[in-house]
A and B are shown apart, each in its own frame.
Chain A
Amino acid sequence: MFRAVISEAKEFKKVIDAASNLLDEICFEVNEEGIKARAMDPSHVALVSIDIPKEAFEEYEADVHDIGVDLEAFKKIMNRAKAKDKLILELDEEKNKLNVIFKGAATRKFALALYDVSSSNLQVPDIEYPNEILIKAGPFVDALKDADLVNDHVTLKVEDGKFIVYAKGDLNESETIFEEDSESIISMNIGENAKSTFNLEYLRDMTKAASSSDILKIYLGTDMPVKIEYDVAGANLTFLLAPRIES
């Protein structure tokens, strides 16, 4: 069996949005501890990892199940959530559906078809990073928006104790400099100068579920995948994005 009650459907919607920006389908592995999912996007450029401990739920009860769903369909259903709705997720093993129930002014039920999405057994690779930056999501997303004006990729740099978001197009350039004492920065754990370049659209998608005051943990090296972690509605979201390199 699997049944979970989430007090704010709108918050859970952000988790589904974050995944659906990058993935077509996902397998939620549920057990008595909580829900987890790991998947790479079809091009293997990005990885999404979702962990929701049972404590994040108002009620939670589960045995071991793999629940594979089409994310576009799930997202469309979650878009129907009203501001004060509670969300109930329950597995209907007989009908092979995931019931998605909104409880608010009325009780609205959707039955979402299950897909045979095999659980990936993917692990987030245990990469050692020289730099770890804790930054407010708002200013970081703004820096990405600035970069978006000049090119479709962006360079994230650690240089002389500063975190820099830099983009260069054929004609124009943009640069946002975060110093350690800037109010956007919570903390910087700097080991060495580093620089990696990334596709901007992926980075935008990965940060979409974060509210501007949420705190992103960014792990950065040179020509290494960037790792971005944050929490939404008690769920831990981790994203990994492969770099572009000069060849």
Chain B
Amino acid sequence: KAKQLTLDAFFK
């Protein structure tokens, strides 16, 4: 099953 990530995961 595909899941849409948010950009928050990449703001670290």
**Structural contact, A153 and B2, CB atoms closer than 8 A:** yes
A127, closest chain B residue (CB):
B10
Which of A40, A199, A242 sits near B9, CB closer than 8 Å? A242
Contacting chain B: which of A42-50, A56-64, A105-113, A139-147? Answer: A42-50
**Structural contact, A243 and B11, CB atoms closer than 8 A:** no
Per the CB 8 Å criterion, the residue count for chain B at the interface is 11
Q: Which of B1-12 contact A (CB under 8 A)?
A: 1-11
**Chain B binding surface SS class:** mixed
Complex Cα distance, B6 from A244, in Å, reads 9
Which of A40, A246, A247 sits near B7, CB closer than 8 Å? A40
A181-220 contact mask (Cβ, 8 Å, vs B): 1 or 0: 0000000000000000101000000000000000000000
A210 to chain B: closest CB distance in Å? Answer: 21
B8, closest chain A residue (CB):
A44
Which of A125, A199, A240 sits near B4, CB closer than 8 Å? A199
Per the CB 8 Å criterion, the residue count for chain A at the interface is 20
Complex Cα distance, B2 from A129, in Å, reads 23
Answer yes or no: A83 CB below 8 A from chain B CBs.
no
Complex Cα distance, B7 from A73, in Å, reads 27
Complex Cα distance, B6 from A61, in Å, reads 37
B12, closest chain A residue (CB):
A125
B12 to chain A: closest CB distance in Å? Answer: 8
Complex Cα distance, B2 from A176, in Å, reads 22
